[in-house]
Amino acid sequence: MRLENKVALVTGGGSGIGYHTALRFAEEGASVVVVDINDAAGQKTVQEIEAAGGRAITVHADVSKAADCERMIQAAESAYGALHILFNNAGISHADDDDAINTTEDVWDLTMQINVKGVFLGCKYGIPALRRAGGGSIINTASFVATLGAATPQLAYTASKGAVLSMTRELAAIHARENIRVNALCPGPLRTELLMKYLNTDAKKQRRLVHIPMGRFGEAKEIANAVLFLASDESSFVTGANFLVDGGITSAYTTPE
């Protein structure tokens, strides 16, 4: 059991990558704090973990609110005595996100509030808890678009994930001597509800798929296994990484013709 006696907090744990990661963490022995703004989704994840013999609680939180982020960290320490793994995963990709001309300020601001400020606040309150535990692992969900940019315009999302990647690198450098590792998970295009809502036409889907050497969208379960590696001691010498799990899409873009 790779996470035995560990306590892990997962934001956005009610769906997609967060849901599958929460289940994997529990399978590997962690006590899991499932954080979501959707109470029913968070509770469903907890019920599945408990039904399989694991330990989990759910916490309602809007990660763009400081008080909510402080409370979710307190809930983890109160319930399980410590926090060792922080997966800042909650995020949005707005259907109206477009280029600089067509993206509204409201869409830009909402995306930044959740995708960037949410990671900042998770780290702001989570890092002291990891210090109290003697160290641990932080995984921040960025995206392959933080490295490449997107073929289909989604400027706010791309900019937000670039910010997450940069923030992760700096935090990794700051906290490396404290036994706190900080890595950016950068998934490629996935067959999740979030992306499929955005790629809402066959033309948009094909525009993404043509660039993926594997010829398919990734699955959230596959990403969960990558998160497990970054959370576990198996990645003990990995920090500040741009951890790409993308079906080869970055290689396809960067390989010379």
Give the angle 213-214-220 at the CA atoms, nearest 5°: 125
Tens of pLDDT, residues 5-44: 999 999 999 999 999 999 999 999 999 999 999 999 999 9
Token pair 């990661």 is found at 21
**Contact, 88 vs 141, CB < 8 A?**
yes
Do the domain assignments include residue 2?
A: no
Tens of pLDDT, residues 67-90: 999 999 999 999 999 999 999 999
Q: How far is CA 64 from CA 94, 150, 205, in A?
A: 16, 24, 30
For residue 64, give every residue at least 6 positions away whose Cβ sits within 8 Å of its Cβ, in sequence order, or none: 113, 114, 117, 118, 121
In the chain, what percentage of residues exceed pLDDT 90? 82
Residues present in the chain in total: 257
Tens of pLDDT, residues 169-211: 999 999 999 999 999 999 998 887 767 776 778 887 777 787 8
Do the domain assignments include residue 85?
A: yes
116 phi and psi, to 5 degrees?
-105, -55
Annotated active-site residue in 19, 80, 157, 198? 157
Res 198: pLDDT: 67
CA distance 198 to 220: 16
**Contact, 158 vs 146, CB < 8 A?**
yes
Whether pLDDT at 215 is above 90: no
Number of domains observed in the structure of the chain:
1
Range of the domain at 173: 7-254
Residue 81: count other Cβ atoms within 10 Å of its Cβ: 11
Give the angle 75-226-179 at the CA atoms, nearest 5°: 55
Residue 40: count other Cβ atoms within 10 Å of its Cβ: 9
Annotated active-site residue 253? The verdict is no
- What is the residue-averaged pLDDT of the chain? 94
227 phi and psi, to 5 degrees?
-65, -40
Do the domain assignments include residue 15?
A: yes
| H or E element, residue 25 | helix 16-27
Do the domain assignments include residue 1?
A: no
**Contact, 69 vs 125, CB < 8 A?**
yes
Give the angle 145-88-75 at the CA atoms, nearest 5°: 170
In the chain, what percentage of residues exceed pLDDT 70? 97
CA distance 40 to 220: 20
Res 122: pLDDT: 98
Do the domain assignments include residue 180?
A: yes
Q: Model-level pTM?
A: 0.94
* CATH number for position 129: 3.40.50.720
**Contact, 155 vs 148, CB < 8 A?**
no
